[in-house]
Amino acid sequence: MAEVSFFGGDTSTEETELQYAPITNLGAEGKFAKLDTSIAITGGTTSVKCHKQKNIISTNRLLVDPSFQRLSEEDKMREWKWARTSDATKDAREIEANFLSTVKVTKKLALLKKEELKRKKAEKDSENLDECKLHGGPITPDSLTLVNTTVTATCIGEFQ
């Protein structure tokens, strides 16, 4: 490992070079600002997919391209139809659908795990409540271990 310059050797040149490293990602900040502005313009009721599609059109500058502007209305409609129904578009939609289905499955798994954890916590709380009921009396210095194993709020309600 000492052979790798990162782990050994003179670090003063690395520190000097890091002085000029950017602290923020201006490209990402610009994209978020553009999305924020777009959401503000639409009042926040437009879907992210719609914003994405508008961003693609504005980035590609299709509507202001001189070659597109010179087309007749019929040719413009044909171009739009091709853009919506071409094989590349179908492939892109399929990739997006696969990605979104993966996200949906991941969310469902996370929700199931969360529900399982809640169920386990409820079972543990129920066991602790049963233990409080079995104890049957006020908590004394001899039964302080009971405080560590039970839910505080349950014990307070049980022994008052």
| Reported pTM | 0.44
Of 132 and 66, the structure prediction assigns the larger pLDDT to 66
Cβ pair 132, 150 in contact under 8 A:
yes
Of 96 and 140, the structure prediction assigns the larger pLDDT to 96
Provide the b/e sequence for 123-134 (b: ≥16 CB within 10 Å).
eeeeebbeebee
Percent of the chain scored above 90 by pLDDT?
19
DSSP letter (8 states) at residue 71? S
Of 146 and 54, the structure prediction assigns the larger pLDDT to 54
DSSP letter (8 states) at residue 51? H
Residue 71 CA neighbour count, 13 Å, CB half: 14
pLDDT per residue over 105-136, tens digit each? 999 999 999 999 999 988 888 887 777 777 66
Percent of the chain scored above 70 by pLDDT?
73
pLDDT band at residue 88 under the 50/70/90 scheme: confident
Evaluate the CA torsion angle 60, 64, 66, 71 in order and state its sign.
positive
pLDDT per residue over 19-49, tens digit each? 777 777 777 788 788 888 888 888 878 887 8
Give residue 1's pLDDT.
47
Ranking 51-55, 67-71, 114-118, 133-137 by mean pLDDT, the lowest is 133-137
pLDDT at 71 over 80: yes
